[in-house]
Every structure is written in C-alpha cells, then in structure tokens.
Structure 1
Amino acid sequence: MQKVTLIPGDGIGPEVTEAAVKTIEAAGVDIEWDRQKAGIMAEKEQGTPLPREVLDSLRKNSIGLKGPLTTPIGSGFRSVNVALRQKLDLYVNLRPVKTFPGPVGDYEDVDLVVFRENTEGLYAGVEHKVGADAAESIKIITKKASRRIARAAFEYAEKENRDRVSIVHKANIMKLSDGLFLETCQEVADEFPDVGVDDCIVDNLCMQLVQNPEDYDVMVMPNLYGDLVSDLCAGLAGGLGVTPGANLGDEIAVFEAVHGSAPDIAGRGIANPIALMLSGVLMLKHLGEEEAAVRLETAIRELINESEVLTPDLGGEAGTDEIADAVVEKL
C-alpha cells in the first residue's frame, strides 16, 4: 500500500479533493491517505499556514496530492505554495496542457508541456521597502537551478519522444540574469543531441502561442515566466479547470490543481474537480501505476467528449459530486 500526503486546501479545495480521491481509488490503486491541514484553516488553528507536520508528512511519504490554497493579496502570510516548493526543494513545476475532444476550449490538437523553475527568480521572496514610496524585489538566477530545470526538461523530452525544447527568456533586456539562464540551458542541450532546441523571447512566445500553439512542444523557463505562460497555455485547452500540475524534486513530488481556491463558490458543490483528477493521473504515473493512470485519464476524456455531465465553468449544469460519480461509473 502506498501512503500519500493529502492536503485538501482552502475554499473549494476539500470538495475537489474528495472527488479526486474517489476517482483515484476507483481506478484500483490501494492508497492510504495521510490527511494534513495547510492554508487558512491551519493559520486559524495553529497560527501558521504551513505547519511542521505537513512538511514532515511529505518528507516521510515522498508524495502528496494537494488542493488549492489561498494566498492573501498584498498582505497576510506569504504563499504556502511557494513555501512548500522552497522548503522541500521542489524545483520543477510541470504543467502538461492538452486539448480535449468535445466542447472544451477553442483550439484543437494543443499538446504542450511547460517546465517552470520553481525555487528562485522573482519568486525567491527577496524584497524590501526603499523609503516610504518605493519597493524593490530582487531577481535571483543561479547556474545550479538553471541547469537542473533544463536537465529535467530535456530528460522528459527524450523519455517521452518529444521533438523539441524551447528555452524561454528575456535575455535581450536582462542580459545577466536571463542571459545566464539561456546560456546554462544551451549547455545542457548539448548533452541531448537527439532533442531539438531553440530559444524564444517570452513576450513573443506569448503571441506565437495564441496564434500557432502547434509550433511548440516542451518549454523551459524561469519562475515568473512559467507562472504566466502556463496559465496562457491552460487557456488554450479550456482553462485551469482542466489543467493538471506537479511540483517535483529529487526525493519528493507534490501533485496539485493549479487553479485558485475560488472562495466565492466554496460549499456550493459546483466546483470543477477535473484538474485535480488529472493531477491524480500524473501522480499515478509517478507511482508506476501506468494502467490505472491510463484508465482514469481515458474515463475523464470520455466524460468531456460526451459533454453531458459538465460543471458550469465548462458550460454544463452538473455538480462536483456528479462529475466524480460519472468518472467512477466509467471506470
């Protein structure tokens, strides 16, 4: 039996998490869930949004499934998501984006994979006030972090028989920081002669993705660009409600829905659980449960293609539990 840390999260988190758990178990995998609280509820009960027990559980189990966590805007505690990635050295943020047959999204045949460096850049949290009327954030790019995210992207491309890795940067303006990232990624690319490589300036990439997403394959980029570009890619495939995500380190992996906690619809039973279910598919593949992963993904894709049972964000009228029950029935 595999033990997995389960973090339900905030807002709609508990609802979509229970739906995902139900479908993962129905896929036939024997999992013991180690439930842990983080986020707003943990802050209220324990005085910290990221209790030590959560980190201890993930270190012990080496794998976790996480619902969305709320990050206060402009004040309050720092992002728990960022803290988890930094404290556990989950340096890879992996976001595969693939269109579904059926009514979801305006594009066809999108098949993209974003590798986002997860531990530094502008999200390193090094910022301070400069007098009363200014603030300064420091962008940190290191050769070590750039090398390992690049290697993760090229190893993935080689393993999954992907054609090309695009290195995304803004080295025309930030010649030292983004220049170091670009240079280091190109050095790693030389170790993978069978994988194609090019580089793209991030603002031009965004335009090209909207116009011709089929021209891209695997993309690797610094932290902030990855946050923005991965959401853009999600929009091509129908939105964050159908986009899975994973945070990977050398020893620990945390799989998550990349959407927010949506407190405005929490408790109403209409939240879309598909993103977290698909994150569960990634988790099952990571665990070596390939057959169960394929069965679960196929059931989800069939459900969307039939377009009879969909949540309101996808144009339907079904609730969270109805989606879970429909996927379980297909399994």
Structure 2
Amino acid sequence: MALVSRICARTLLQASASSTARSLHTTPAPQQQQAPIEGAKRTTCTLIPGDGVGPEIVYSLQEVFKAADVPVDFETYFLSEVNPILSAKLEDVTSSIMKNKVCIKGILATPDYSVEGELQTLNMKLRNELDLYANVVHVRSLPGVKTRHKNIDCVIIREQTEGEYSALEHESVPGIVECLKIITAKKSMRIAKFAFDYATKNNRKKVTAVHKANIMKLGDGLFLKCVEEMSKLYPRIHFEKMIVDNTTMQLVSNPNQFDVMVTPNLYGNIIDNIASGLVGGAGVVAGASYSAETVVFEPGARHTFAQAVGKNVANPTAMLLCGAKLLRHINLHSYSDVIVNAITKVLEQGKVRTKDLGGQSTTQDFTKAVIYNLH
C-alpha cells in the first residue's frame, strides 16, 4: 500500500511539473530579459567612473555594452579622493563590490598631499578593505598599433597590499623621514602561488621573480625565498629571478623574453607602466585586481589623463578591454569575443585612431566605430 502511495505521489508530481513547464513555455519572456547570444540572467556590476577621463571612457563602455545587448546592469558610485565632497562613502562602495563580486573601475587620482594628513590613499584603502592582493596586467601587442617591438605577450602579477605601499612613514627628527617597507612570508607565498597557478592555468611556460634582494637582503630576500620555494611545487614551469633594474633594461630591449612576472608592490607598478608604453601606452592595456572573493577590472597603467578632461580625445580601448575581461570572468564569452573582435577590426583598419595612436579621431568616433563593427 505504501508503495502504491509513493507511485501515485510521484505521478502527481510529474504531472504537475509537466503542466508548469508547459505554462512556462507558452508565456513569452519579457523582451529586455532576452540575450541575443547567450541566454544568461542579468548580472549586476559595481561601476566606479574614477577621476580624469575616467567618466568619458566608462561612458564609451556603457554605450558599447548597450549596443551589444550585454546582460549587465551597473551600480554606479562616484568615488574620489580629489573630490571628497561629491564622493560616495568607501564603506558603501566596498559593500556594493562585495555583494556583486565584480567591479569596473576608472583610475582614481591621488593628491601629493593629504588635506587631512592621512597617509593611506583611497586606492590603498579600497585594496585593503577588499584584500585585492593580486594585480594582473596582461601586456600584449595589438594589431594595427605600430610599436618598436612586435608580438609582445607578457603578464605582470603584482602584490599590492604591502611593500612600499604600507603607508607607514614618520619623521623621526626634523628633516629625517623614515618609510617602512613591509614584506611578509604569508603574502609573498600567496602571490607566488597565484602567479604559478596563473601560469599553469593559462599554459604559460616561465615565471620571473623581480626583486632587489642584492641590496634589500631581508625584505626582498624574503620575497625571493618564498617565490623560489613555491617554484619547486611547479616543476613544469621554468623559474628565473631577475634584479629589478636589469628587468627594466631587458624589458625595453628584449621584451619577448618575458612570460609571467611576479613582483612586490612598487616594482610591479613601475614595470606595468614601462610594459604598457611598449605596446601603445596607457590607453590600450587592461588590468584586474583579485581577492579571494571579488575582482576589480581597471586600466593596467594608472593614469587619469587629467589634462584631457572634456576634450573628447581619450582612447577608450583599455576600458573596453576591461569590459571584455569582465564578461569572460562571468562566463559571457561570446559577448566578450564580439567586443574584442570589433576593437581588433577598428585597430586593424586604422581609419579611426585617437591621438595617442597617431590619429585625430575622438573618443566618440572610436566608440561609434567599435559599435559599427559589433556582429
């Protein structure tokens, strides 16, 4: 009798599910919820326009996303250290990013002097609050962009929660300032593991540790020791070490020798900018900062280009590539491919170029050209 009851119950449930499915299929979905390429639900992403030309290139990204019917909604917060009156509260921004897990961010300007005497910048506070420990900048040659070196393809992985950016400075006696550089084994091992995991996942062959352990024997010595220890766990990845000043020379003379580089905080910041200059400048390189829970996508070379504000001359390529990286991260690969292919076509054709790439086209011209090539 119990068996019969279970069979009857199962039959009723199946009939009910079938009826529900039929009713769902016969009800047309709202037009705005349909994705033309991938039937994915909409994703909410925190958006920080940034300072300088940030709002202009973020607007380009929004226009391209709109034209491509990308199923992403933006939750916008204006965050700024140079415009504190207009700025949102840091805790509101971090709460949004922690909730959404993903963020698109323009570059935040950092004043040389803090009005309140605060040593920690807004950028540093944001990274520390979210524990955005790994900054990843993929520097590669773009088609149609003329540069001295060809076929550059390297990845710079930077630890960005300690090192020289620890905001620990004091004037011990008048005229003498001491700045503390913090290097810990825990964070050095963490960024080393991230670098080797990245190399393994992305079929990279070599990891180069950039250091100055010959001079800073304890601080950089600890960092280098941690990376060396981690390298032993990845025998298929070739490991090498290089002093930072030699790295900068090698980078501008023979950049093709590099694959993945892992660096402490300050060295990574410098190398990011040098490498970006090799492939066309700050306007064409995208980056991302990772924590265990969240990702913030932002241009790889951190320049606000304040002198170009309102002139409609900024190159939005880096921000558009950030958007493409975001889409791949949330598993919307086909949308990402469409946008990257459109950018590639515009650069290859060479008819629409912003001033930084030797042309006279405006930010809006480039954006419209990318939208025209979306298909």
TM-score, structure 1 as length reference:
0.95
Give the root-mean-square deviation of aligned CA atoms.
1.5
**Corresponding position of 1:306:** 349
Distance 2:160 2:67 in 1: 32
Structure 2 counterpart of 1:103, which letter? Answer: V
> Are 2:174 and 1:124 equivalent residues in the alignment?
no
Does the aligned pair in 1 maintain the 2:145–2:279 contact within 8 Å?
no
Match of 2:234 among 192, 201, 217: 192
**Corresponding position of 1:113:** 155
Structure 1 counterpart of 2:127, which letter? Answer: R
Does the aligned pair in 1 maintain the 2:140–2:279 contact within 8 Å?
yes
Moved more, 195-204 or 67-76: 67-76
Distance 1:109 1:45 in 2: 43
Distance 2:140 2:276 in 1: 8
Cα deviation, 1:95-147, whole Å, max 9, x if unaligned, reads 00001122332221000100000100000111111222121110000111111
SS in structure 1 of the partner of residue 239 of structure 2: strand
| Number of residue pairs matched by the alignment | 329
Moved more, 21-30 or 306-315: 21-30
Counterparts of residues 7-26 of structure 1 (less than 5 Å): 7-26=48-67
Structure with larger Rg: 2
**Corresponding position of 1:181:** 223
Question: Which structure exhibits the higher relative contact order, with contacts defined as CA atoms closer than 8 Å and separated by 6 or more residues?
Answer: 1
SS in structure 1 of the partner of residue 242 of structure 2: strand
- Residue 72 of structure 1 deviates from its aligned partner by 0.5
SS in structure 2 of the partner of residue 5 of structure 1: strand
Cα deviation, 1:11-48, whole Å, max 9, x if unaligned, reads 211100010122234344201100111004751235xx
Match of 2:308 among 259, 265, 269: 265
Does the aligned pair in 2 maintain the 1:42–1:50 contact within 8 Å?
no
Distance 1:297 1:307 in 2: 16
SS in structure 1 of the partner of residue 292 of structure 2: coil
- Residue 80 of structure 1 deviates from its aligned partner by 2.1
**Corresponding position of 2:185:** 143
SS in structure 1 of the partner of residue 204 of structure 2: coil
**Corresponding position of 1:34:** 75
SS in structure 1 of the partner of residue 165 of structure 2: helix
Distance 2:283 2:302 in 1: 7
> Are 2:128 and 1:86 equivalent residues in the alignment?
yes
Cα deviation, 1:245-287, whole Å, max 9, x if unaligned, reads 1111000110012332222111111111111111112211211
Cα deviation, 1:216-254, whole Å, max 9, x if unaligned, reads 100001000000011111111111110101111000110
Distance 1:83 1:202, change over 3 A: same
Distance 1:142 1:50, change over 3 A: farther
Structure 1 counterpart of 2:362, which letter? Answer: G
Does the aligned pair in 2 maintain the 1:105–1:239 contact within 8 Å?
no
**Corresponding position of 1:215:** 257
Cα deviation, 1:66-115, whole Å, max 9, x if unaligned, reads 11211102344643222211111000000000011223322210001000
**Corresponding position of 1:277:** 320
Q: % of aligned pairs identical? A: 40
Structure 2 counterpart of 1:199, which letter? Answer: K
Alignment gaps of 5+ in structure 1: none
**Corresponding position of 1:246:** 288
Structure 2 counterpart of 1:242, which letter? Answer: V
Moved more, 21-30 or 84-93: 21-30
- Residue 60 of structure 1 deviates from its aligned partner by 0.8
**Corresponding position of 2:212:** 170
